């Protein structure tokens, strides 16, 4: 995967090694294997992990290559993933015990791949799990799959499932924070605009540190492809929020600055925009000592 990312950066894309597809096929078909282990082996390295392995973080290349590999795997192994979901549905009442946990993990991993297949049957199955499951693990996994699906056919079900989730759990703070976090982490176009809209939602309160971490931290710290937009809008968004938080909760404001302080790891075009926002923060009147310390240290040569 690292070689494919490097090749994308240099403009010489590589094809997916078919051996990976066959390895996944073997994992999905071998019923003797431990289900929890198979679920972990089917998961590609995260974008955050891949970023840590690179001297210079090419955000778009990492995102594109990982997404394309997942789409190719889903297309080649649709039947196997569908059978995996069928075989690992938990019929018994929910119990937080190892066998059920393993089944849910494997089933939800397969559903995540099926969310990339343009077939209404699979999107409908994910939607039904998101709105009808009897446990938060399954609900959360299905919601994440829906909101991250690049398919146009998934947009309406994702929006409806999110609305139903909020309607059901709006009086539960932890569930609402999860609801904000899921949307903040959606690696699809328009995520920044969605997060900006959520700032005005009744569910969000910038004076509440947990909600700040869920929405603003969830976007800027996790959703790399949208935070590191080439136009710098993600950086401006974060700097604006830090300025707002500076007068409300300087400690939280300082912690939110972390994504900008890593500017040295990114290509020059992005790094310069990140530095510009850090310098704008330094010029903020009445900047708190907490924010000043983090920002000024990050700019020292």
CA angle 260, 261, 264 (to 5 degrees): 100
Distances, alpha carbon 282 to alpha carbons 239, 265, 278, in Å: 10, 21, 6
Distances, alpha carbon 230 to alpha carbons 58, 100, 266, 267, 271, in Å: 11, 43, 12, 11, 11
24-57 confidence digits (pLDDT tens): 999 999 999 999 999 999 999 999 999 999 999 9
Q: What is the pTM for the complete model shown?
A: 0.94
pLDDT value for 93: 87
pLDDT value for 301: 62
SS3 category, 156: helix
56-96 confidence digits (pLDDT tens): 999 999 999 999 999 999 999 999 999 999 999 988 888 88
CA angle 120, 127, 41 (to 5 degrees): 90
CA-based nearest residue to 151, from 128, 122, 117 = 117
């Amino acid at each position: 995967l690292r070689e494919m990312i490097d090749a994308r950066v240099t403009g010489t894309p590589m094809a997916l090694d078919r051996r990976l597809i066959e390895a996944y096929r073997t994992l999905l078909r071998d019923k003797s294997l431990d289900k929890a282990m198979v679920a972990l082996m089917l998961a590609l390295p995260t974008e955050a992990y891949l970023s840590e392995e690179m001297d210079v973080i090419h955000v778009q290349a990492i995102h594109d290559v990982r997404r394309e590999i997942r789409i190719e795997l889903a297309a080649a192994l649709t039947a196997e993933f569908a059978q995996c979901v069928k075989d690992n549905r938990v019929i018994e009442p929910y119990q937080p015990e190892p066998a059920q946990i393993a089944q849910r993990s494997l089933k939800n991993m397969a559903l995540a791949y099926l969310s990339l297949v343009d077939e209404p049957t699979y999107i409908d199955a994910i939607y039904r799990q998101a709105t009808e499951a009897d446990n938060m693990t399954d609900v959360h996994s299905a919601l994440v799959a829906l909101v991250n699906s690049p398919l146009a056919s998934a947009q309406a079900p994702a929006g409806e499932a999110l609305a139903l989730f909020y309607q059901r759990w709006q009086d539960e703070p932890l569930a609402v924070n999860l609801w904000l976090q899921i949307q903040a982490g959606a690696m699809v176009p328009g995520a920044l605009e969605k997060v900006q809209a959520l700032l005005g939602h009744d569910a969000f309160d910038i004076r509440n540190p947990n909600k700040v971490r869920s929405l603003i931290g969830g976007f800027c710290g996790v959703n790399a492809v949208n935070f590191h937009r080439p136009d710098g809008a993600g950086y401006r968004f974060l700097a604006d929020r830090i300025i707002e938080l500076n007068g409300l909760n300087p400690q939280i404001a300082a912690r939110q600055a972390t994504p900008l302080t890593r500017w040295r790891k990114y290509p020059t075009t992005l790094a310069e925009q990140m530095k510009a926002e850090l310098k704008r923060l330094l010029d903020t009147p009445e900047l708190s000592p907490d924010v000043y310390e983090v920002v000024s240290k990050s700019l020292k040569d």
